[in-house]
Amino acid sequence: MIAALALAAAPVPCPAEPPLSYVCGAEKPEDIVRIGRSDWLVASGFAQGAGLKLIDARTAEASLWYPGTRDQIAWDRKRFAACPGPVDPALFNARGLSVREQADGTYRLLVVNHGGRESIELFDIDLRPSRPSLRWRGCLPLPPGHVANSVASFADGTILTTILTRPGTGITDFVRGGITGLVMAWRPGDTGFAPLPGTELPGNNGLEVSPDDRHYYVVAFGWHAVLKFDRTRQDGPVARLTMPDFMPDNIHWIDGRLVAAGMRLDEPACGGLRKIVDGEADKMLCHRGYVVAALDGELTHVSTLAYGEPSPSFNGVSAAAFAGGRIWLGSYQADRLAWRADPAAGN
């Protein structure tokens, strides 16, 4: 099955490569999340102008969701006074995503943006129309020199974001196991993001909060591990679980479990582990297999939900979501979104 993205330019055809089928034209869908229990998902676009895509899980069709029309702008200038204005859809470079239901039944979507500014963009989603509506509400700029990776929020409005590499550090540093990143927090009423002590890790990547709001989880990409933090403490993680043979990227709570997805760590087709050549970490362009795994909240157990061999056309798996009896796979490299049947759904 092939589904095309509704863009002005026709996407390049992307025929299925069983067990994977594709949504063509979804440029670098680095993260993907389901909107509540609906049949709708939203995927990011990790490239200039790629923005956000709305995906219908029933039909495997997608469309560009934020053209920036007047009806999509509802700036809360009081709450987000530091924001310079609506995000430019021509520059919108979306990375990590987070969705949380609000008291009125709508959903708050948080998006890491690199287009035109380093910021967290805030949107409201209304599922009541036949096609969900999206309204931009404001943004939270990152401190100068800091680039966010993932984002999550607590019920009280506190927003967390990960920084993969602080100024003066780089990818090669965390591949070697060096400390490069941290978690930053913004609380309602704050003027900006501030570091959370004790969260310094090698390559702070994926991020999620626990359903009870007591803990949060951070991927240390350099350790290919997930770490658990107590919200009330600042003395480092309270638990750690290293993945057996893959590099977790984005993580999300899905159906009572913490789901992580990423590329295979020791890939024979790529000569094994990620290498550092002439002082620089390889760019992971060699096509690696992938793993989608479930972790318990205490970080004591991990189980495989899906895995795949290297695909000729789909590399850089970075996220997973479940909807419509399918497992949806995001990628920070590919020009398409992938899906496969979910064995647990009985397909």
The DSSP secondary structure of 280-330, one letter per residue, reads EE----S---EEEEEE-TTS--EEEEEEEPPPSS---EEEEEEETTEEEEE
- Whether the CB-CB separation of 334 and 313 falls below 8 Å is answered with yes
Do the Cβ atoms of 92 and 86 come closer than 8 Å? no
Pairing relationship of beta strands 32-34 and 40-44 according to DSSP bridges: antiparallel
* Spatial CA neighbour of 118 closest among 97, 145, 79, 85: 145
The helix/strand/coil state of 186 is strand
Identify the bridge partners of residue 291 per DSSP, sorted by sequence position: 262, 307
pLDDT given for residue 10 in this prediction: 59
Residue 168 neighbours by CB distance under 10 Å:
8
Q: Look at residue 345 in the predicted model and tell me its pLDDT.
A: 83
> DSSP state, 135?
E
Q: How many alpha carbons lie under 13 Å from residue 309 in its C-beta half-sphere?
A: 6
Instruction: Answer whether 202's CB lies under 8 Å from 179's CB.
Output: yes
For the entire predicted model, the pTM comes to 0.96
pLDDT tens, per residue, the chain with 347 residues: 334 444 445 567 899 999 999 999 999 999 999 999 999 999 999 999 999 999 999 999 999 999 999 999 999 999 999 999 999 999 999 999 999 999 999 999 999 999 999 999 999 999 999 999 999 999 999 999 999 999 999 999 999 999 999 999 999 999 999 999 999 999 999 999 999 999 999 999 999 999 999 999 999 999 999 999 999 999 999 999 999 999 999 999 999 999 999 999 999 999 999 999 999 999 999 999 999 999 999 999 999 999 999 998 999 999 999 999 999 999 999 999 999 999 888 64
Q: How far apart are CA 283 and CA 156, in angstroms?
A: 38
Grouping H, G, I as helix, E, B as strand and the rest as coil, residue 18 is coil
Could you tell me which residues come within 8 angstroms of residue 248 by beta carbon, excluding any fewer than 6 positions away? 205, 206, 219, 221, 224, 225, 226, 260, 261, 262, 293
Give me the torsion for CA of 329, 268, 220, 142, rounded to 10°: -60
DSSP helix/strand/coil, 222: helix
Phi and psi for 243 in degrees, rounded to 5? -70, 140
pLDDT at position 206: 98
> Across-strand partners of 249?
none
Beta strands 225-230 and 215-220 are antiparallel
| CB neighbours of residue 96 within 10 Å | 28
CA distance 6 to 143: 35
327 phi and psi, to 5 degrees? -100, 125
Please check whether residue 149 is in contact with residue 142, taking contact to mean a CB–CB distance below 8 angstroms. Answer: no
Give the span between the Cα atoms of 18 and 4, in whole angstroms: 18
Q: Are 85 and 59 in contact (CB under 8 A)?
A: no
Structural domains in the chain, CATH included, are 22-345 (2.120.10.30)
CA dihedral 184, 187, 190, 194 (to 10 degrees): -10
